[in-house]
Amino acid sequence: EVQLVESGGGLVQPGRSLRLSCAVSGFTFDDYAMHWVRQTPGKGLEWVSGISWNSARIVYADSVKGRFAISRDNAKNSLYLQMNSLRGEDTALYYCARAPAGIAVAVMTFDSWGQGTLVTVSS
């Protein structure tokens, strides 16, 4: 069974940092591009970042470029999101999502999602 489990969320002050993790199981992790998508409570979805299977291609939303860094460790079956200089508008539920096998990173097709980890940025 495909599983994606996010962790690392919590309450953090503006300007501080947080690192999210996504542990996966049930599939060959290094066959798939992975993404982070966030959702503000009660509002819509926002794509955050994506990374190819071998980390050669990385893309970011303009809203997080220069502050967030996506990475992966294929040996540990894990995806990460390092979030720096956090702002109130970064408050959201953060999902990790899998793109289907063979799909390039620049595609918004996500066939599996985790349940999300909540990040709250507030003083």
Partner 1 sequence: QSVLTQPPSASGTPGQRVTISCSGSSSNIGSNTVNWYQQLPGTAPKILIYSNNQRPSGVPDRFSGSKSGTSASLAISGLQSEDEADYYCAVWDDSLNGVFGGGTKLTVL
- Under the rule (CB under 8 A), what is the footprint of partner 1? 35, 37, 44-47, 50, 59, 61-62, 95, 100, 106-111, 113-116
29/50 with CB nearer partner 1:
50
11/45 with CB nearer partner 1:
45
Ramachandran bin of 64, using left for φ above 0, alpha for ψ from -120 to 50, beta for the remaining angles: alpha
Tell me how far apart the alpha carbons of residues 118 and 8 are, in angstroms, rounded to a whole number: 8
Tell me how far apart the alpha carbons of residues 76 and 29 are, in angstroms, rounded to a whole number: 9
What kind and span of H or E run contains 123?
A: none
Tell me how far apart the alpha carbons of residues 99 and 34 are, in angstroms, rounded to a whole number: 6
Smallest gap from Cβ 44 to partner 1, in A, equals 4
Smallest gap from Cβ 112 to partner 1, in A, equals 9
Smallest gap from Cβ 11 to partner 1, in A, equals 21
14/104 with CB nearer partner 1:
104
Smallest gap from Cβ 105 to partner 1, in A, equals 9
39/82 with CB nearer partner 1:
39
Distances in Å between the alpha carbon of 75 and those of 23, 53, 97, 120? 11, 12, 18, 30
